[in-house]
Amino acid sequence: MSTLLATASRLQQLHCAACHAPYSAFSLQRVSSCCAQPLVADYDLREPLTRAAGIQTTENSMWRYASLLPLLDETNRVSLGEGWTPMLALPRLAAHYGFQDLRLKDEGQNPTGSFKARGLSMAISKAKELGVTGCIIPTAGNAGVAMAAYCARAGLRAVVVMPRHTPQAFREECYWYGAEVHLVDGLINDCAARVRELNAAGELLDVSTLKEPYRLEGKKTMGYELAEQLNWRLPDVLLYPAGGGTGLIGIWKALREMQALGWLPATAQLPRMVAVQAANCCPLVETREGRQLNCQAYLGKPTIANGLAVPRPLGEPLMLDVLDESEGLALAITDEQMLEGLRELGKEEGLFVAPEGAAVWMAARQLLRTGWIRPEEQVLLLNTGSAQKYLENIVGLA
C-alpha cells in the first residue's frame, strides 16, 4: 500500500501555454484548440509532499518520480529502464581549462541511446492509457527510434518520418522495431508536413515535440534527477543542446515544481540556462539577438548534430521564457567546433558523446573564456545522446 500512495499521480489539469486556458488532463489531447499552442500539465503541488514520500528510491529509472508524472494507472507504464543516468565529473577537462566544478549528465546511456527515451516512454505510456492504437512522428533521428521502440513494447503501430540524409543507423533501428519508415528530402519541418499528409484522417496520435503534452513530462525528470543527484544543491549554470526545446522547458518546469513543493532550499538560486544550438540551424539565437521577430520563416541547414536541425520549433516562446527567467543565453556552435569537442571528450574523459553533447561542452569552454561563466561556478553539461548512431557524420575525422 505504501508504494501505491507514493506513486499516486498528482496530475490535475492541462493548460494552454499561450493563454493559460484549462484543458482536461483525463482525455486525449493534442495542442490547445484556443491558440494551437502546447498544452502543459499541472499537478497538485499544494497538498504537502515530502521528498521522502514523493520519490520511490528503489526505482532506478525516471519512474522514481511517478507521483509527479501524469500516468494514472501503473499497469500502463511502458518502460525500458529510462532515466537515472549517471552524473559524471570531468576532472581532466576541468583542470585543463580552469573549471572548479564541471560535470556531465550522460543521457547517452538511456535505452535507444538518447534522452528521447524519457519523453517517448512517458508519451507512449499515456497513449496506451488513453486507448491510442498507433503513433506517428517527424524526427531528426533519435525521437523516431525511441518512439519505434516504445510502440513495439506497447504493441502500438509506429510510423516514423525522417530526413533522407539521417544516418542509416537511425533508420535501420526503426525497421528492427517493426516501424513503418518514410524518408523525406529536407529537414524535420518538411517531415512534419509529410506527417500531416500521412495522418490526414487522424487515426494515429502525432507525438511531435510539444504537439501532445506528455513527452515534456518525461523530459522534465532530468530536472528532478539532477537536483537529487547533486543532493539538492543546483548548479550555477546548466547547458543544454536545444532543438525542439523539450529538455530545456522540461528541466525548468521541474525546477519550478520542486520550488513549489519545497524540495529545494528556500534560498536556492536556480541555474542560468544556456540553450546551445548549431551554427547551421540556430533560430533561437537569431530571435534572441533580434535578427528576426520569431523563427516562423527561419531556414536552417543540416548539421552533424541532427537533433539540433529544428528550424521552426513550436516551443520557441517557451524556450525564450526560460532563457529570460533564468538570465540565460542562447549560443551557436559550428560543426567543426563540435568535432573538436568530440575529440576532447573522447581522449580526455573516455566519453563518446553525440555531436549535440560536444556542442554543449564547446559552449561551456567559450563562456568560461568570455567570463560569462566564472571559474568557481558549478557547471553542468547535458549530454543528450551517444555518438554510436552518428558514425556517418564523423567517420574518419578523429
Using CB under 6 A, list all residues that contact ligand PLP: 114, 116, 142-143, 209, 241-247, 307, 354, 356, 384-385
**What number of chain residues touch Zn ion (CB under 5 A)?**
7
Which among 397, 319, 394, 311 is positioned nearest to 354, based on CA atoms?
394
Cα–Cα distance for residue pair 303/334, rounded to 1 Å? 9
3, 24, 26, 35: which one binds Zn ion (CB under 5 A): 35
Min separation Cβ 300 and Zn ion, Å: 27
Which amino acid makes up residue 233?
A: R
Residue number, 13 or 352, with CB nearest to ligand PLP: 352
The CA–CA distances, whole Å, from 28 to 117, 156, 184, 315 equal 21, 16, 28, 20
How is residue 207 written as a grid cell? 507525438
384 binds, among Zn ion, ligand PLP, none (CB under 5 to 8 A by kind): ligand PLP
Q: Which residues contact 182 (CB under 8 A, 6 or more apart)?
A: 159, 160, 161, 162, 194, 198
Residue 61: CB atoms within 10 A of its CB come to 23
213 binds, among Zn ion, ligand PLP, none (CB under 5 to 8 A by kind): none
Min separation Cβ 21 and Zn ion, Å: 5
116 binds, among ligand PLP, Zn ion, none (CB under 5 to 8 A by kind): ligand PLP
Stretch that binds Zn ion, among 9-17, 68-76, 211-219, 316-324 (CB under 5 A): 9-17
Helix (H), strand (E) at residue 163: strand 157-163
Task: Supply φ then ψ for residue 380, to 5 degrees.
Answer: -120, 125
242 binds, among ligand PLP, Zn ion, none (CB under 5 to 8 A by kind): ligand PLP
Min separation Cβ 52 and ligand PLP, Å: 31
Helix (H), strand (E) at residue 102: strand 101-106
Min separation Cβ 312 and ligand PLP, Å: 12
- Say if residues 363 and 338 touch (Cβ distance below 8 Å): no
- Say if residues 158 and 181 touch (Cβ distance below 8 Å): no
Residue number, 15 or 64, with CB nearest to Zn ion: 15
Residue number, 37 or 280, with CB nearest to Zn ion: 37
Cα–Cα distance for residue pair 188/210, rounded to 1 Å? 14
34, 89, 297, 391: which one binds Zn ion (CB under 5 A): 34
193 binds, among ligand PLP, Zn ion, none (CB under 5 to 8 A by kind): none
Q: Which residues bind Zn ion (CB under 5 A)?
A: 16, 18-19, 21, 32, 34-35
